[in-house]
Amino acid sequence: MTQEEKRIEWKTRYESWKKSGQSIAEWCRVQEIKTHQMYYWVQQFDNTNDSMESNKRETQWLSVQMSDYELHSKGQESIFIHYGSVSIEVHPDSNVELLSDIVHIIKNQC
């Protein structure tokens, strides 16, 4: 049996157990499966589901009015601020009060 076939077989068992409403020990006793094997696969599939859920989170965008925004001076580089899934590009001559407001909003939203 290949690894993929084994994984498919255990995924079927995992789903059957989830639908049963039984504890792992009860389900394994009825199915004549070793509980330590089932615990291993439950952990594998639960961890896979957790990582899939975290990858499904969508990026949230905030609208910001930047009427006082000034272009940066020549020769100076921008910096990037990363906070969670948010990235902000800050130019050297940016409005500091506006940047402070943006950071405050992001901190409270994320």
Looking at 11, 31, 56, the residue that finishes a domain is 56
Residue 44 burial class via C-beta count within 10 angstroms: exposed 0-12, middle 13-18, buried 19 and up: middle
Same domain, 52 and 63: no
Residue range of the domain that includes 39: 3-56
Give me the residue label for tokens 């990037």: 80
Indicate the number of domains in the chain.
2
CA distances, 14 to each of 18, 56, 57 (Å): 6, 22, 25
Interval 71-95: pLDDT, tens: 545 557 788 887 777 778 888 778 8
Tell me, yes or no, whether 7 and 38 share the same domain: yes
Q: Is 17 exposed, middle or buried (0-12, 13-18, 19+ CB in 10 A)?
A: buried
List per-block mean pLDDT (blocks of 10 residues) for the chain, which spans 110 residues. Answer: 88 92 93 92 79 57 65 66 78 81 74
Q: Are residues 76 and 37 in the same domain?
A: no
Give the amino acid at 99. Answer: L
Same domain, residue pair 69 and 51? no
pTM: 0.44
Q: Are residues 47 and 82 in the same domain?
A: no
The CA distance from 70 to 75, in Å, is: 15
